[in-house]
Structure 1
Amino acid sequence: MPIMKLLTSHRYLLGQLIKRDVLLRYRGAMFGVAWIFLNPLIMLAIFAFVFGHIFQARWPQQEGGAPFWLVLYSGLIAFNIFAEAISRAPTAVRSYPSYVKKIIFPVEILPLVPLGAALVHCLFNYLILLAALAWTGYLTPMAALYPLALAPLLLITLGFAWFLAAWGVFIKDMSQIVPPFVQMLMFLSPVLYPASAVPEILHPFYQYNPLGIVIETCRNVALGHPVAWEGWGIALTLGLATAWLGNTFFRHSQEEFADVL
């Protein structure tokens, strides 16, 4: 409830900060904010050419169905939200020392700015995914559940963003430590392969890994496959716990931010 109150009471300010963050990223570029659409479109075209025509790759243990590049892209969209927000979280507070020193400014919303920017990019990725599914003939009504499938991931990302934003104020090395960790996590999560393809001894790790559960759920709804809602519910519960713990840790730490900065 305190988290929901924070989001609703400061929604306008948060929206303006996210808008500013996105626009600053593309300011001065020849095509401007059009790169929000062009980047994922170019990436998907490269996936289709490399994996579809050169390697002619197939998804492990899959017979027929959507092409490999489309299956890969549907899971990568979800992971990219986590990767972008978490990689930028350590500097989310440290980059705004003037805001932190203002008593009336709600510092808690600063770690939400990278997550909001990641969701803006996710929206365009999702629209391109729908277009690609329709073009290849694999679009089903289940694809409309993709945003719902992302809910646990957003809570998990939010919790970790609060943790890392607080640690980033005190430990500047966090901005160097986190990106390699995120890159490693991409290979340890079922992004480039299904969880069923890992050795049996590792199945429990993948079965209860909330990040992996969400990625698999998103992939399944995008391709019209049945969804294990029980696993999604476990991930949602873990996401709620992570968000609450992250927010609690951040609030207990923020009293010292001004002194450190």
Structure 2
Amino acid sequence: MSFIALHPLRTFSDTWRHRYLLAQLIKRDVLLRYRGAVFGVLWIFLSPLFMLAVFAFVFGNIFQSRWPEQTGGMPFWLLLYCGLIAFNIFAETVSRAPTSVRGYPSFVKKIIFPVHILPVVPVGVALVHGTFNFLVLLAALSWSGNFHAHALLFPLLLLPLLLLALGISWFVAAWGVYIKDMTQIVPMLVQMLMFVSPVFYPASAVPAALRPFYDYNPLGTVIESTRSAVTGQSIDWRAWGVALGFCMAACMLGYAFFQHSRDEFADAL
């Protein structure tokens, strides 16, 4: 594994150099997903809007759910939606990573094509959907009278999660070229991770014996940080900084592993 590939500037400069091509691939992916639909790309906005409406009806009127230890304040469905926005960006990226390279054999076999940007495409697509989810969240916060200025920090707080998702995407994409079972294994693991991360509950509700796992889970740290920002509470910047450092290292390792493996992609495909 090349130590040059572990340099953080090298990791992102290689991707930034091909930003136009990357943007075109992301645009193509988004448009293909909604091609033929009656409402077309409007579903990017309609899907989160409908999902939030269902959450508000089911958890607000039928179950009348409340956050553990919560006596007032923001509705449960908004807290839940906040966690899901962050997790879904991660989940969509990682779940699509196994086929991000295998799905483009003609690109891989072109010597001059920058293959390393293919696993970045799912990250960009997930960010497009996440952006519209965030706009819907801001509208819901304003409509319900729960908007706090700290909520605007939401995109910044997602940075560790994006780095982690990108690193795992590079790693899984490389394995996906050789092991087709990754398309089945990864989504299953992602679904399990959703329930062991503080998406449907706060980390404070976790039993003390399991608390260390949640304290050192960068995904959980990001979800808790975004939820704190949305509710106007203080953010644990120290925990967020530790998560940022860990995720940066994971991103560089994923990139280095991908670059180390890419020479054999064409033969495997």
User: Shorter-chain TM-score: what band?
Assistant: over 0.9
Provide the C-alpha distance between the structure 2 equivalents of 1:21 and 1:13, rounded to a whole number of angstroms.
12
Calculate the aligned-residue CA RMSD, in Å.
0.5
What's the TM-score, normalizing by structure 1? 0.99
1:86 equivalent to 2:89? Answer no
2:39 to 8, 31, 34: 31
Counterpart in 2 of 1:243?
251
Provide the C-alpha distance between the structure 1 equivalents of 2:69 and 2:33, rounded to a whole number of angstroms.
40
Counterpart in 2 of 1:61?
69
Counterpart in 2 of 1:41?
49
2:78 to 70, 73, 76: 70
Provide the C-alpha distance between the structure 2 equivalents of 1:242 and 1:199, rounded to a whole number of angstroms.
28
Letter in 2 for 1:206: Y
How far did 1:185 drift?
0.5
How far did 1:233 drift?
0.4
Counterpart in 2 of 1:9?
17
Counterpart in 2 of 1:208?
216
1:110 equivalent to 2:97? Answer no
Letter in 2 for 1:21: D
Instruction: Report the secondary structure of 1:215's partner residue.
Output: helix
What's the TM-score, normalizing by structure 2? 0.96
Segment of structure 1 superposing worse, 165-174 or 57-66: 57-66
Counterpart in 2 of 1:121?
129
1:220-231, aligned counterparts within 5 Å? 220-231=228-239
Provide the C-alpha distance between the structure 1 equivalents of 2:83 and 2:233, rounded to a whole number of angstroms.
13
5+ unaligned residues in a row in structure 1: which ranges? none
Counterpart in 1 of 2:161?
153
Letter in 2 for 1:97: P
How far did 1:8 drift?
1.7
Provide the C-alpha distance between the structure 2 equivalents of 1:233 and 1:62, rounded to a whole number of angstroms.
27
What CA deviation, in whole Å up to 9, does each residue of 1:57-92 have, x standing for no partner? 001111211000000001110000010000000000
1:189 equivalent to 2:197? Answer yes
5+ unaligned residues in a row in structure 2: which ranges? 1-8
How far did 1:225 drift?
1.1
Q: Displaced runs of 4+ in structure 1, greater than 4 A?
A: none
Instruction: Report the secondary structure of 2:64's partner residue.
Output: coil
Provide the C-alpha distance between the structure 2 equivalents of 1:129 and 1:6, rounded to a whole number of angstroms.
34
1:176 equivalent to 2:184? Answer yes
What CA deviation, in whole Å up to 9, does each residue of 1:5-41 have, x standing for no partner? 1222110000000000000000000000000000000
Provide the C-alpha distance between the structure 1 equivalents of 2:12 and 2:96, rounded to a whole number of angstroms.
23
Letter in 2 for 1:251: Q
Letter in 2 for 1:250: F
1:144 to 152, 166, 175: 152
Instruction: Report the secondary structure of 1:111's partner residue.
Output: helix
